[in-house]
Amino acid sequence: MEPTYNEGDILFATNIGIDDLHYGDIVVAKPHDKLVIKRLIGLPGDTIEFIDGQLYRNGELVEEDYVVNKTTKDNILVVLGEHQYYICGDNRPVSYDSRAYGPVDEILQKIILIKK
């Protein structure tokens, strides 16, 4: 998640407000056997597309000032189901995220504070 978070930063997460998620929230999920911290870019029912490194949500280009490098190897099209979320890291070329493992079915926590 660099440059948003860096090694040594202290993050505070909560379950409070987990039912009120918004685009751009930083969340904790567990897509497999590993906890990940990523940015929420897709909510249930959304259509997510990556075309030439640009993110489109429901057909609209999304400005992502927080993304370091927008390089994406492939074009991607995903329609999220009723209980699915799409999460991505801010450093896209090295981020292991929904582009690799697909949508996640559950968000565990939301990051509410960063101490650098």
- pLDDT score, position 52: 86
The token duo for 14 is 């909560």
- pLDDT score, position 3: 65
CATH superfamily assigned to domain 10-115: Umud Fragment, subunit A (2.10.109.10)
Residue 72 vs residues 3, 13, 54: alpha-carbon distances, Å: 18, 28, 8
- pLDDT score, position 111: 85
- pLDDT score, position 58: 98
- pLDDT score, position 15: 74
pTM listed for this prediction: 0.87
The token duo for 24 is 């751009």
Q: Taking a C-beta distance cutoff of 8 angstroms, is the pair 90, 2 a contact?
A: yes
In the numeric block, the tokens 């939301």 are attached to 110
What burial class does residue 27 get, using C-beta atoms within 10 Å of its C-beta: 0-12 exposed, 13-18 middle, 19+ buried?
A: buried
Per-10-residue mean pLDDT, the chain, length 116: 66 73 93 91 96 93 86 86 95 89 92 71
